[in-house]
Amino acid sequence: MVWGNWTIVSEFVLVSFSALPPELQILLFLLFLIIYFVTFTGNVLIILVTTVDSALHSPMYFFLKNLSFLEISFNMVIVPKMLTTLMTKDTTISFLGCATQMYFFFFFGAAECCLLATMAYDRYVAICDSLRYPVLMDQKACVQLAAASWFSGFPVATVQTTWIFSFPFCGPNRLNHFFCDSPPVIALVCADTSLFELEALTATVLFILFPFLLILGSYVQILSTIFRMPSAEGKHKAFSTCSSHLVVVSLFYSTAILTYFRPRSNTSPENKKLLSLFYTVVTPMLNPIIYSLRNNEVKAALQRTLRKALRSQKL
């Protein structure tokens, strides 16, 4: 379709992993399918056990449940289309489909950054201001913090996606990525995008770097408080309550910062795909595993839930 001097693009072609041999693409499909199944199952188990087990009805596990909902949603935005691309060789995605995928990628990505910061604040209050913890983190406050984390994704997703897809696209429609991320889409725009790129950098700082700095500040205070505790047992108990979250934050933010804050000239498209795979596919799978293996309360709750399920089946 041509409108004036512009070619109106009606669909994009995802380059994805098409450069790899077919045999390797099949192996990747099987690997990503297994990871997708493990991710979904693990996060559903976290949601289930934090809902049915009364021992986990606390702010920390309320936020963990929200994180699992986010991980499932975030994963569903990316992986099904990627699996379809690998299996059917249909690498096209419609203009509207691309915009929709990008919108929800921004929405859930920004929400997860803010939720991880909220979880760090919860641990900060629990360890550094434990006497006021029941008051500061009551049910109403937890719901408001979780809702604010979810809603934070709305403005950035709306502004970014609307702005990007209001630009003209001249005809080249091959996206060198496995999903509709902002940089490869912007590379196909036939107009000056400098103002948008400035806004995108501002949004990235606000929704990736700023929450990360809040998390970093919280853990500086947390570690300072832990080191001042007189008993070794108290130190171990306090650190064990936040170690899982610290590992999850490290995994998520290390790859996100490397992806969006490195100069373009220093990052090849293939390297960016590998980094993107980590925070879109691998990290959502690792989160429930990390919380299950490193948290004795979650492990005990999982065992109780499984025993109840087995007893109910026998009856």
- The CATH number given to 11-298 is 1.20.1070.10
- Average pLDDT on 44-48 reads 91
List, in sequence order, every residue forming a beta bridge with 93; answer none if it has no partner.
12
pTM, 2 dp = 0.88
Q: Is the pLDDT of residue 33 over 90?
A: yes
The candidate with the shortest Cα–Cα distance to 124, out of 225, 212, 50, 213, is 225
Contact 195/140 with Cβ under 8 angstroms?
no
Tell me how far apart the alpha carbons of residues 151 and 133 are, in angstroms, rounded to a whole number.
Answer: 24
Contact 133/126 with Cβ under 8 angstroms?
yes
Q: What is the mean pLDDT of the chain?
A: 85
Tell me how far apart the alpha carbons of residues 74 and 79 are, in angstroms, rounded to a whole number.
Answer: 9
Sequence ranges of the domains in the chain: 11-298
Q: Is the pLDDT of residue 186 over 50?
A: yes
Amino acid identity for residue 293 in this structure: L
pLDDT at 299: 75
- Average pLDDT on 170-177 reads 84
What token pair was written down for 145?
């913090």
Q: Is the pLDDT of residue 2 over 60?
A: no
Residue with the larger pLDDT of the pair 186 and 170: 186
Instruction: Write the pLDDT tens digit of every residue in 9-23.
Output: 788 998 888 878 888
Tell me how far apart the alpha carbons of residues 116 and 111 are, in angstroms, rounded to a whole number.
Answer: 9
